[in-house]
Structure 1
Amino acid sequence: MATSQTPSWREGMSSDNIKGLILALSSSFFIGASFIVKKKGLKKAGASGVRAGVGGYSYLYEPLWWVGMITMIVGEIANFAAYAFAPAILVTPLGALSIIISAVLAHIILRERLHIFGILGCVLCVVGSTTIVLHAPQEREIESVTEVWQMAMEPAFLLYAASVMTAVFILIFHFIPQYGQTHIMVYIGVCSLVGSLSVMSVKAIGIALKLTLSGMNQLIYPQTWIFTLVVITCVLTQMNYLNKALDTFNTAVVSPIYYVMFTSFTILASVIMFKDWDRQSPTQVVTEMCGFVTILSGTFLLHKTKDMVDGPATTLSMRLSKHAEEGGFNGGEGIPLRRQESSRLP
């Protein structure tokens, strides 16, 4: 019985998958910590200048924000390298670990309460991530960046990319001016949709660099530089709207919602472009989906825990804010998903 199980383990966890796993775990730690450091920097910059949430860029002069940005860049580089070794279905869901790190540090440093159900949500994220890791498919053998380009030019992925860009433009030019300050899904929707395209391009660049370092130069192909341009454009867009979301809404709310949407769109894009599930049995696919649903359940609990406040005083404060909003006072500051400062009584 043991001999029949050993090949399936090796098949699922190849040496490249293990490298991708280690890089993804490192990435989650740095990115999770960066959310907190950047949030501290945004709050400090907002106290002396125009907040990012209302279009200000004073955070660019705040050293603490740059520390957080550098930490995030280190995490993204590790994440970038992970995509060169392992499929997106393995790497992307491991971002749930960054949510755990972010939620715990927000509880300790930012004093954003983590309810007992939030802890349960962290456990579910770990369980779901472990399930996906153990059943992840092997990375597809790709011999040239032009092969990735051909995948990106297939009608199914072109239709997905066109749909994403249309949705992003509608959100930016129609919904953000009206609902950006009150509806968290608007900013995060832009980040998540654009992020799914950036991950596909990052994976293409990672494969190109991996092949180049192995002796097959991929830098001579224009497709490599087109993918690079797409990555730069998408990352700058993500950074801009993620800063607005972090400055406007609670960190422990932004992180899980962003993760769920970003992961969902990325896995969808990966399945369409790289056809990861074509090389797996139905049992493996169902198991991975169960792991993903478990992670979603965990992030949902982390999200809802921000509405479960401890103590009658805070509950009364939120109720008073709600009544004030209904009576026409305080604008939108009674919204529970807004920053904690806006829901406190003077």
Structure 2
Amino acid sequence: MGLSPDNFHGLTLAVSSSIFIGASFIMKKKGLIKAGTKGIRAGSGGYTYLYEPLWWVGMISMIVGEIANFAAYAFAPAILVTPLGALSIIVSAVLAHFVLEEKLHIFGVLGCALCVVGSISIVLHAPQEKPIHSVKQVWQHATQPGFIIYTFLVLIVVAVLIFRYVPRYGHTHMVVYVGICSLMGSLTVMSVKAVGIALKLTFSEMNQFKYFETWVFVLVVTVCCVFQLNYLNKALDTFNTAIIAPVYYVMFTIFTILASVILFKDWESQSGAQIVTELCGFITILSGTFLLHKTKDMGNDASKDKDPPLVESPNHVDTPSNTDSQR
């Protein structure tokens, strides 16, 4: 059974999106490295990268990828488009290996594979979204107690991470930076969906930008994107790109699906088998993430673990004290 024309267009856009997004990680990292030699690094709170053309090339590449991904949903169902986001991990890891010379250990590769398999399992069995016909309808969902509680919890956790854990563990634990990006990203996606619905209906001659709710969603998208970009730059400047990409993808997918389930209450239509399958996907993701954390430095530390050759100093003389200490 072949692909329909619409599905083929959606597939092409989704694959193109993954290529652009995966490559953007590498270009932005190269730009951050170059900018770090000229001023304060992004990981230390600097913004020199804003003057680096290569970073902007990576930023544009990411924007193009996100636009392509957004357009893909207009042609193909989410069950086809969303899992293809995992391709950006492969693109990023391969380019990081050859361009940045960031080695990914074999166990890191296995961790990536587990993360991708778990994420695909969750996405494929996620509940189907109910049709939305108005921005006001999204606003009604967003002002329900369940999603309000989720939003407040996200903001509280993000605030704790920023003010308590970033100063202490930001440079040693990438989950801090990536966690901020992922949590804020879940709110971004929900708002982007609302703005997308507004644009679609507006192009269909049903103007949605006359409602204040649409502009609230636009404001949320803007604020959340600023937070995500800031802390994603810090993560890229501090940690291995080949590790950041899959962990960010996994955490972002988890929180986005959770936010979508809470917002649209699609879980009510799920069967027990679907819920169990999703739980298995979560366990697989956690296993892959744990493996990535435990093995992230194995490839880089291999050479450090080797004993240095014993070279006798030409000025070395065996004195009684030296001989006794060696015994």
TM-score range normalised by the length of the shorter chain: 0.7 to 0.9
Aligned-pair CA distance for 1:100: 1.9
**Displacement of 1:17:** 7.9
Aligned alpha-carbon RMSD (Å): 3.1
Quick check: 1:125–1:295 contact (8 Å CA) kept in 2? yes
- From the superposition, tell whether residues 63 and 310 of structure 1 become closer, same or farther in structure 2 (CA, over 3 Å): closer
Report the Cα offset of residue 118 of structure 1.
Answer: 3.1
Aligned 8 A contact 1:94 1:129 in 2: no
Shift of 1:113: 1.0
> Aligned partners of 2:289, 2:89: CA distance in 1, in Å?
8
Match of 1:117 among 107, 130, 142: 107
Q: Determine helix, strand or coil for the equivalent of 1:314.
A: coil
Shift of 1:271: 0.8
Q: Distance in 1 between matches of 2:301 and 2:47?
A: 36
Residue 99 of structure 1: how far off its partner (Å): 1.8
Unaligned runs of 5+ in 1: 1-5, 7-12, 318-346
1:268-320 CA-partner distances (Å, limit 9, x unpaired): 11110012332333223333443454455445444444232278533259xxx
Corresponding position of 2:130: 140
1:174 aligns with 2:171: no
Say which of 234, 249, 259 aligns to 1:259: 249
User: Equivalent residue for 1:57?
Assistant: 47
What is the DSSP-based 3-state SS (H/G/I as helix, E as strand, rest coil) of the residue aligned with 2:102?
Answer: coil
Give the TM-score taking structure 1 as reference length. Answer: 0.77
In the TM superposition, residue 33 of structure 1 has moved relative to its aligned partner by 1.1
Inter-CA distance 148–16: structure 2 relative to 1 (3 Å threshold): farther
Per-residue deviation, 1:50 = 1.4
> Counterpart of 1:332?
none
Q: 1:89 to 1:52 in 2, by over 3 A?
A: farther
**Residues 175 and 128 of structure 1: CA distance in aligned 2, closer, same or farther (over 3 Å):** closer
Counterparts of residues 266-277 of structure 1 (less than 5 Å): 266-277=256-267
Separation in 2, partners of 1:66, 1:309? 30
- CA separation of 1:60/1:299 partners in 2, compared to 1, >3 Å: closer, same or farther? same
What SS class does the counterpart of residue 267 from structure 1 fall into? helix
Contact 1:84 1:210 in 2 (8 A): no
The one-letter code matched in structure 2 to 1:173 is F
Separation in structure 2 between the aligned mates of residue 14 and residue 140 of structure 1, nearest angstrom: 23
Structure 2 distance, partners of 1:25, 1:71, is 14
CA contact (8 A) 1:205 1:227 kept: yes
State whether residues 135 and 197 of structure 2, in contact with CA within 8 Å, keep that contact through their aligned partners in structure 1. yes
CA distance in 1, matches of 2:100, 2:171: 21
The Cα of 1:160 is off from its aligned counterpart by 0.7
1:282 aligns with 2:259: no
Amino acid at match of 2:68: A
What displacement does 1:158 show?
0.3
Q: Which residue of 2 aligns with 1:79?
A: 69
Give 1:257's aligned amino acid.
Answer: V
SS of residue paired to 1:113: coil
- Secondary structure of the corresponding residue to residue 208 of structure 2: coil
Does the CA contact (< 8 Å) of 2:147 and 2:259 recur in 1? yes
* Counterparts of 1:90 and 1:136, CA distance in 2: 12
Aligned equivalents of 1:301 and 1:100: distance in 2? 17
Amino acid aligned to 2:140: Q
1-structure distance, mates of 2:287, 2:83: 13
CA 1:179–1:130: 2 relative to 1, 3 Å: closer
Aligned counterparts of 2:202 and 2:37: Cα–Cα separation in 1 = 47
Bigger radius of gyration, 1 or 2? 2
SS of equivalent residue, structure 1 residue 50: coil
Q: Distance in 1 between matches of 2:165 and 2:275?
A: 36
Closer, same or farther in 2 for the Cα pair 1:181/1:306, shift >3 Å? closer
Say whether residues 1:208 and 2:206 are aligned partners. no
What stretches of structure 2 of length at least 5 have no aligned partner?
Answer: 308-327
Query: Structure 1 residue 34 and structure 2 residue 8: aligned?
Result: no
1:234 counterpart = 2:206 = no
Residue aligned with 1:315, SS: coil
Q: Aligned residue pairs: how many?
A: 306
Amino acid in the other structure paired with 2:42: A
Equivalent position of 1:95 in the other structure = 85
